[in-house]
Structure 1
Amino acid sequence: MNKLRLQGGFTLIELMIAVAILAIVMGIAIPSYTQWVIESGRADGKAQLFETAQNLERCFTRYSTYDSDQCNVGDGDAIESEKGKYQVTVDAEPTRFELTAAPQGGQADDDECASLILDSTGARRISDDATGDVEDCW
């Protein structure tokens, strides 16, 4: 009598197919996730830019100048954003200012927007070495 034996487990071919499928999925998922993390990190830089601009506007309202020694906004040092993804530098003159948020750490991989720039007129820009569009970055 011939009895059929049932074998458990996977064959090598089945295992290789599963590994190939996993590699394809990971090849798509990881870069997409990384890009999403970078894009969401821009909110940290924008928030710090707007907070710093608001502080400078308060200074101007109170002292009629953006660069008053009474205000202590920036004081020549970079201002680190809340989550540490950006450092904001302040270039203030009596009647104008320009704020630049430079990416730090893993956020420095953001070639699309690079640095975010906000000035006293409310104009929003990105650094010259960025590859993206202002509308996409802001």
Structure 2
Amino acid sequence: MTSPSKPGKRSSGGFTLIELMICVVVIGILSAIAYPSYTRHVVAAQRSAAQTHLLQMAAKQTDYLASSRTFGTLAEITALVEVPPAVATRYTLSVTLTDGPPPGYTITATPKVGGTQANDVVLTLTSSGAKTPNDKW
């Protein structure tokens, strides 16, 4: 037989408002720590994709030089190596040719404004193999 509940006694069937607010605060703190770390990881991963593509373009420049006796423009090189969608949507690519002696090129990947890469650095790769900025390669 169940006893009638006494006045002033409450049942233990749920959460109190204080317990719920503590959970909300803990989730907020974890989110404040995790989200910036996640966004830094995404930016670094997309930068890595751009670096890989710059290296592929440099390899195609070498092939182009062997067959044409000159380095190729952006249009000529992108006809040989497809720009991945992850790079095309986040970076603007350019190729600057330099007259010699010896002739050379600079391939540049500039982050597009308004995207996740907007605060990232401009990546460059030259025909001599110089990569800038050094700390991001």
Q: Under a length normalisation based on structure 1, what TM-score does the superposition of the two structures give?
A: 0.76
Instruction: Work out whether 1:122 is the aligned partner of 2:126.
Output: no
Map 1:10-29 onto structure 2 (within 5 A).
10-29=15-34
Instruction: Work out whether 1:99 is the aligned partner of 2:107.
Output: yes
Aligned match of 1:30: 35
Q: Is the 8 A contact 1:44 1:82 kept in 2?
A: no
Identity of aligned residues (%): 32
Question: 1:3 Cα shift?
Answer: 4.1
- Aligned counterparts of 1:50 and 1:82: Cα–Cα separation in 2: 16
- Aligned counterparts of 1:116 and 1:16: Cα–Cα separation in 2: 46
Pick the aligned partner of 1:72 from 76, 80, 87.
Answer: 76
Q: Is the 8 A contact 1:49 1:118 kept in 2?
A: yes
- Aligned counterparts of 2:125 and 2:107: Cα–Cα separation in 1: 5
Q: 1:2 to 1:82 in 2, by over 3 A?
A: closer
- Match of 2:14, SS state, is coil
Q: Which one-letter code corresponds to 1:107 in the other structure?
A: Q
- Aligned counterparts of 1:42 and 1:28: Cα–Cα separation in 2: 22
Task: Give structure 2 stretches of 5+ with no counterpart.
Answer: none
Q: Under a length normalisation based on structure 2, what TM-score does the superposition of the two structures give?
A: 0.76
- Aligned counterparts of 1:80 and 1:91: Cα–Cα separation in 2: 17
Q: Work out which of the two has the higher radius of gyration on C-alpha atoms and give 1 or 2.
A: 2
Q: Which one-letter code corresponds to 2:66 in the other structure?
A: T
Aligned match of 1:8: 13
Tell me which moved more, 79-88 or 115-124: 79-88
Q: Which one-letter code corresponds to 1:116 in the other structure?
A: L
Q: Deviations over 1:106-137 (max 9, x none)?
A: 21232xxx1110000111003xxxxxxx23x1
Aligned match of 1:130: none
Aligned length: 122
Aligned Cα root-mean-square deviation (Å) = 2.5
- Aligned counterparts of 1:44 and 1:87: Cα–Cα separation in 2: 13
